Amino acid sequence: MDKFDIDSEYKRVHSQYPKSLTSPVIGITANYRDGNAAVAEAYYASVLRAGGTPLIIPPYSNRNALFETLRHIDALLLTGGADIDPRYMGEEPDYALLHSINPKRDEQELLLARLAVDMNIPILGICRGMQTLSAALGGGVHQDIYAALGDGLLAHDQEPVERHVATHGVNVVKDSLLWKIFGSETLAVNSFHHQAVSRLPKGFVLSATSPDGVYEAMEAVDGRSIMAVQWHPESFILNEDRCMIPLFEWLVGEATLYRRSREIHSQIITLDSHCDTPMLFAQGYEMYERSETALVDLHKMHEGGLDVSTMVAYLKQGARDADSLSQATRNADALLQGIADRVERCGGEAVLCSTPAEVDTAKQLGKKIVMRGIENGYAIGRDLTNIERWRKQGVVYMTLCHNGNNDICDSARGNGEHGGLSLFGKEVVREMNRIGMLIDLSHAAESTFWQVLELSEHPVVCSHSSCKALCNHPRNLTDEQLRAIASKGGVVQVTMYSGFLREEGEATLDDFMSHLQHAISVAGIDHVGIGTDFDGDGAVIGCSSASQLLNITRELLRRGYNTGDIEKIWSANWLRVMRSVQG
C-alpha cells in the first residue's frame, strides 16, 4: 500500500474547496442486526461513482433527528435487508414464510420514506427499499412470493452466485422513466429476495416485471422523483461494471436539481397570487394544522418552499337586489376576518402582509406570509367606500367579477349585459386606482378587459389565468391580451386549473409549464408569474398542492432559466406591480 501523506491530502482537499460543496448529499439507510448498524460498500461506492456524496443514516427513532436529517440531504436511498413486517400493512404475519423482521428499522424507514415524499426529496428504493416505499405509501407486499404466486417462479434468490452476476432478465415498460434511463426494453439483473410488492401505491406505475410476473420496478407518475427496483443495482460496481450506474446518476441528477431549487427558494421570495383556501373555513380549516383536504397550509408551504400565499375572499355571483348585495359584503368581511384569525392562530409562524416592504421584512424573519384578496367585485355591492375600507385593512387586489356579470362589468362567462364596464364599474376602476388596490382582470370579458386597460392609470393584473393559444377556453387570455397587459407594465399569473390548461383530460405539470413558457414568450419575462388557484380546483399532476411547488422551480431549471428569471416569475414581477400601484 502506498504511503498516505496526510499533509498532501489535506492541502489537496482545501485546494478543491468550495468545489466539493457542489456534490449533492445522498442519505443512505443502514441495515441493522445484532445491535449494530451497517451498510454494504456497494451502495456508497455507486453513489460516489455517480457524483454524489454519501451520508449513512443509522436506524434510530428520534423524530427531531429524522426531520433534521431530511433537511440536510438532497436525496434518499432506501437499501435492501430484512423482511418488511406485514403488521405494518394491517396483515397477520405468517412466521413460517418470513425470514427475519426488524421493527426498529421498519419503523424508522416507513416514517422516513413518507416524510421524504412530503418534502419532495428524490428517492431510490432498492429491493427491500421498494417494499418499504410500497408499505409506507399505502401499497402492499407479498410476505413470500413463492407462497403467494405459486409454482413456476424464477429463482429470485441467487445465493451462492456472486452478487454482481446477472441471473435473469426483466421487461421494461416502454416510455417509462426506467426505459428512458437505460434506453432498453430489457435489462439483465441479479436477484436476492423472497418478498416483493403485491399492490402499487397510489400515484405509482409499474415500470418493469420479470418474465414470471413479479414486480421488478415502480416509479411515481405524479411529479415526484421516486423510483424503486427489486434487484440490487449497486452490486455491479464492485466488479467495475458500470451497467447500473445510470440509476444512481439519475438519483444524483435529481438531487442536484432539488438542492439547487431549495437554495433558490431560500434566496428569493416565492409568491402564489391566488388560492381559494378560505372556501374550506366552514369545514374547520386551520392553517397551522396539516390538512388532509386543503392544498395550502403552513406545513405544505414549508415543504414546497412557498413564502407568500394570497388567500381570497371568494363570492359566488348571486342576486343583485339590495339585501343580496348587503349580504355579499357581510360574507366578504367574514372571510377576510377569517383569514386574519387563522394567521393569528399560527403562533407567530405566519404573518399578514399587504405591501412589498412588509413581505421583504417577513421573509428576512423566516415567516410564512399571507396576503388577502377579494374574488368578485360583487362583494362591494354598490358602495365604493368598501374599496377604501378593505384596502386600509390590507386587501391587495380585487377581481372585478367571477363567473357571471355583476354591477361592475361583464364576465367572460356572462351575456354581455354592459358591453364591458358599467358606469358604476368605471367609478370602481378610478377608485381602485386612487386608493392603490390592484385591479384583477381574471374572469373578465374581453370587452371589460380592453376598457379597463384604457381607463386605468396603473398597471393591471390577472391573478390566475392561462393562454388561449394553447387551450381555447373563454377564461383564457389571447396573445393580444398578454401583450397588452405587458405594454401597460402589468403581470399575468399563469394558473393550474386543469380546464384552462388542456381541453381534454387531466392536466400535468408539463401542461402548466407550456402555458407559463408561452406567456413568457409573448408577454416577456418581466410580465409573467404564478397563481395556482389551489383549493379552487387548481392543481395538476406533478404539482397537486403547495407542498409540490418546488417542482416548478426544478422544471424552470431543467429548461435553462437562471436565478434572476426564476425570481421574476416567482414574485419580483408581481411585487413590482404592487409597488407601482400602491405608490
At 492-532, the pLDDT tens digits run: 999 999 999 999 999 999 999 999 999 999 999 999 999 99
Nearest residue to 462 (alpha-carbon basis) of 418, 394, 398: 398
Cα 174 to Cα 158: distance, rounded to the nearest angstrom:
27
Cα 367 to Cα 358: distance, rounded to the nearest angstrom:
11
SS3 579: helix
Provide the percentage of residues in the chain whose pLDDT is more than 70: 99
Helix axes of 479-487 and 446-455: crossing angle, nearest 10 degrees: 20
Q: According to the model, what pLDDT value does residue 18 have?
A: 59
Cα 438 to Cα 462: distance, rounded to the nearest angstrom:
10
Nearest residue to 226 (alpha-carbon basis) of 242, 244, 207, 243: 207
Nearest residue to 397 (alpha-carbon basis) of 321, 481, 324, 456: 456
In degrees, to the nearest 5, what angle opens at C-alpha 14 toward C-alphas 9 and 20? Answer: 105
Cβ–Cβ under 8 Å, residues 520 and 558: no
Burial 40-57 (b: 16+ CB within 10 A, else e): bebbbbbbbbbbbbbbeb
Residue 13 predicted with pLDDT over 60: yes
Cα 475 to Cα 49: distance, rounded to the nearest angstrom:
50
Burial level of 379, CB count in 10 A (0-12/13-18/19+)?
buried
Burial 523-542 (b: 16+ CB within 10 A, else e): beeebbbbbbbbbbebbbbb
Cα 552 to Cα 543: distance, rounded to the nearest angstrom:
8
Strand locations in 210-338 (E) = 215-220, 226-229, 271-275, 308-314
Longest dimension (CA), the chain: 92
pLDDT band at 19 (very low <50, low <70, confident <90, very high): low
Nearest residue to 183 (alpha-carbon basis) of 246, 274, 270, 106: 246
Question: Which H/E stretch holds residue 181?
Answer: helix 177-182
The whole-model pTM stands at 0.93
Q: What are phi and psi of 216, to 5 degrees?
A: -110, -15
**pLDDT tens digits, one per residue of 360-412:** 999 999 999 999 999 999 999 999 999 999 999 999 999 999 999 999 999 99
**pLDDT tens digits, one per residue of 225-249:** 999 999 999 999 999 999 999 999 9
DSSP string across 458-482: S--EEEEE-BTTTS--TTSBPHHHH
Q: According to the model, what pLDDT value does residue 145 have?
A: 96
CA dist 381 to 321, 331, 547, Å? 9, 11, 36
Phi-psi region of 240 (alpha: psi -120 to 50; beta: other; left: phi over 0): left
Name the β-bridge partners of 220. Answer: 204
Q: Mean pLDDT score of the chain, rounded to an integer?
A: 95
**pLDDT tens digits, one per residue of 530-582:** 999 999 999 999 999 999 999 999 999 999 999 999 999 999 999 999 999 99
Alpha helices by DSSP H, listed for 207-308, are 245-267, 298-304
Q: According to the model, what pLDDT value does residue 4 have?
A: 78
Cα 28 to Cα 76: distance, rounded to the nearest angstrom:
6
